[in-house]
């Protein structure tokens, strides 16, 4: 898994955004921005960083 590079407060904000995105996924319109794209644009993450956050949130979403 890629090591995240943005400041620590951005890790938390990106994680929160991904968690919120997944919680409300079933109500999203099909034309909405994909999660990875939203994370990359909002937090200036690489593909690997955005995927690492999304994967971590997806794995932990039921806990």
Per-residue pLDDT of the chain (63 residues; tens, 9 = 90+): 455 555 555 678 999 999 988 888 766 655 577 899 999 999 999 999 999 999 999 888 766
Q: What angle do CA 29, 48, 59 make, to 5 degrees?
A: 65
**pLDDT score of 1:** 46
Quote the pLDDT of residue 22.
84
**Per-residue pLDDT, 61:** 74
Query: Cα 6 to chain center, whole Å?
Result: 13
């Amino acid at each position: 898994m890629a090591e995240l590079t943005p400041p620590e407060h951005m890790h938390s904000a990106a994680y929160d955004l991904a968690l919120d995105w997944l919680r409300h996924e079933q109500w999203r319109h099909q034309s909405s921005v994909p999660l990875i794209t939203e994370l990359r644009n909002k937090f200036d993450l690489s593909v690997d960083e955005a995927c690492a956050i999304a994967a971590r949130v997806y794995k932990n979403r039921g806990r």
